[in-house]
């Protein structure tokens, strides 16, 4: 590391200046990365997949996170469970393909066989006093909310995030979309050669949108309108909120991020209209799929559900985009985007996949480039922390929360008058 090579993490945290980006070691030091996995990642509820990706008994998917490989599998009873991909014999990986269908979880090394509930059901030539019941696979917690599968890696006695609180807060915003009754139409992985915090910092601000994302800026009026005519934009949003709340549609923001530094997994909701004349987040503003769930009308708005720093749900009236950020190493991350439409929609008749994914695909490709360039600059000996703008409130809040979770002083950022 070029800077602060002999400075402890505790000192780096203590001397952080609120309202600025982090010092270089936070983005480059493998020891700090490992501490983050223990302090932050393992206590979170981590999104893995949508249930539609595991329709049949024995269907499984592997999820690699925080140095672990996790098997998420649908059992013979239809229940979804998650196990560490570690044989209880001598520790070999059990499932090697990233996804598939199996009758049992059979270790390829010595053929120990586990059923889909994790019980050891066959181990050849063991001693007479060997009890298979003492050797089940190590399980991790599973939570399914609105068709989305979450796991938690913490040990039984460790602190974990309170998902009940998140679920209760999101109910009025997500219920009518019936995300459990959707299907995946496309999933893309965007390997990112940068620290996970740089990827999250970028995603949580739109200060960069106008110069970096011409397509996104064309679709989303708030990018420029909030800057050029903030009072007009604020009035437009206020009128939109009032109109749709009167119709029984949840349109007010639930701004929790930055106000709840004590939470292991802070959450938030942002709601706003898209652009005058636009029905959804598409290239021409026209619908690209049928209305989702129980929606009866187009509110021509978008909803962002924030589920901690590593998972975000963008809802349009006719489709959803799920953003999963995965820390891999101190200088490499993975961004996976999954697009959903209602389960009974038919491609070619009800939707065109290319039109559904267009905005977020082109935007995430552009994001990957600027995040990679950000890491290259941070690697320089000349890098020093910079001050965040008022348009980077979401990023300032994330970094304030991060510092608090890593043992630093809790500082609640001041919100701007307009915008997120």
What is the residue-level pLDDT of the chain in tens, covering all 420 positions? 445 457 899 999 999 999 999 999 999 999 999 999 999 999 999 999 999 999 999 999 999 998 899 999 999 999 999 999 999 999 999 999 999 999 999 999 999 999 999 999 999 999 999 999 999 999 999 999 999 999 999 988 888 899 999 999 999 999 999 999 999 999 999 999 999 999 999 999 999 999 999 999 999 989 998 778 889 888 999 999 999 999 999 999 887 655 566 788 999 999 999 998 999 999 999 999 999 999 999 999 999 999 999 999 999 999 999 999 999 999 999 999 999 999 999 999 999 999 999 999 999 999 999 999 999 999 999 999 999 998 899 999 999 999 999 998 777 666 654 444
pLDDT at site 4: 47
pLDDT at site 254: 84
pLDDT at site 260: 64
CA torsion through residues 229, 231, 236, 240, sign: positive
Domains of the chain: 46-145 (2.102.10.10), 170-405 (3.90.380.10)
pLDDT at site 259: 56
Crossing angle for the helix pair 353-378 and 196-203, nearest 10 degrees? 120
pLDDT at site 255: 72
In terms of Cβ atoms closer than 10 Å to its own Cβ (0-12, 13-18, 19+), residue 301 is: buried
Please tell me the total number of residues recorded for the chain in this structure.
420
């Amino acid at each position: 590391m070029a800077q602060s090579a002999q400075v402890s993490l505790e000192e780096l945290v203590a001397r952080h200046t609120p309202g600025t980006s982090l010092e270089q070691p936070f983005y480059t030091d493998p020891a700090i990365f490992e501490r983050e996995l223990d302090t932050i990642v393992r206590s979170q509820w981590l999104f893995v997949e949508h249930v539609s990706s595991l329709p049949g008994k024995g269907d499984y998917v592997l999820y690699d996170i925080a140095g672990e490989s996790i098997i998420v599998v649908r059992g013979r009873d239809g229940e979804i469970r998650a196990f560490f991909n570690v044989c209880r014999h001598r520790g070999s990986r059990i499932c090697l393909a990233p996804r598939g269908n199996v009758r049992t979880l059979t270790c390829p090394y010595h053929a120990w066989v586990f059923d889909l509930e994790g019980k050891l059901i066959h181990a050849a030539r063991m001693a007479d006093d060997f009890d298979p019941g003492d050797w089940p696979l190590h399980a991790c917690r599973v939570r399914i909310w609105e068709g989305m599968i979450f796991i938690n890696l913490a040990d039984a006695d460790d602190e974990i995030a309170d998902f009940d609180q998140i679920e209760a807060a999101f109910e009025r915003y997500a219920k009518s979309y019936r995300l459990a009754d959707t299907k995946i139409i496309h999933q893309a992985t965007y390997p990112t050669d940068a620290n996970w915090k740089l990827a999250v910092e970028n995603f949580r601000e739109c200060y960069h949108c106008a110069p970096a994302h011409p397509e996104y800026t064309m679709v989303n009026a708030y990018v420029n309108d909030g800057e050029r005519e903030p009072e007009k934009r604020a009035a437009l949003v206020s009128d939109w909120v009032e109109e749709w709340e009167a119709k029984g549609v949840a349109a007010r923001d639930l701004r929790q991020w930055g106000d709840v530094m004590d939470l292991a997994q802070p959450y938030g909701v942002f709601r706003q209209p898209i652009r005058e004349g636009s029905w959804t987040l598409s290239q021409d503003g026209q619908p690209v799929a049928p209305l989702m769930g129980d929606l009866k009308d187009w509110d021509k708005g978008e909803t962002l559900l924030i589920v901690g720093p590593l998972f975000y749900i963008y809802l349009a009236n006719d489709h959803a985009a799920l953003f999963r950020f995965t820390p891999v190493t101190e200088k490499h991350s993975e961004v996976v985007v999954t697009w959903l439409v209602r389960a009974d929609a038919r491609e070619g008749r009800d939707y065109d996949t290319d039109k559904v994914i267009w905005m977020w695909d082109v935007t995430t490709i552009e994001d990957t480039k600027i995040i990679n360039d950000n890491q290259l600059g941070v690697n320089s000996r000349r890098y020093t922390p910079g001050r965040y703008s008022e348009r980077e409130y979401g990023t300032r809040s994330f970094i304030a929360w991060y510092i608090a979770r890593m043992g630093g002083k809790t500082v609640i950022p001041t919100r701007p008058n307009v915008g997120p």
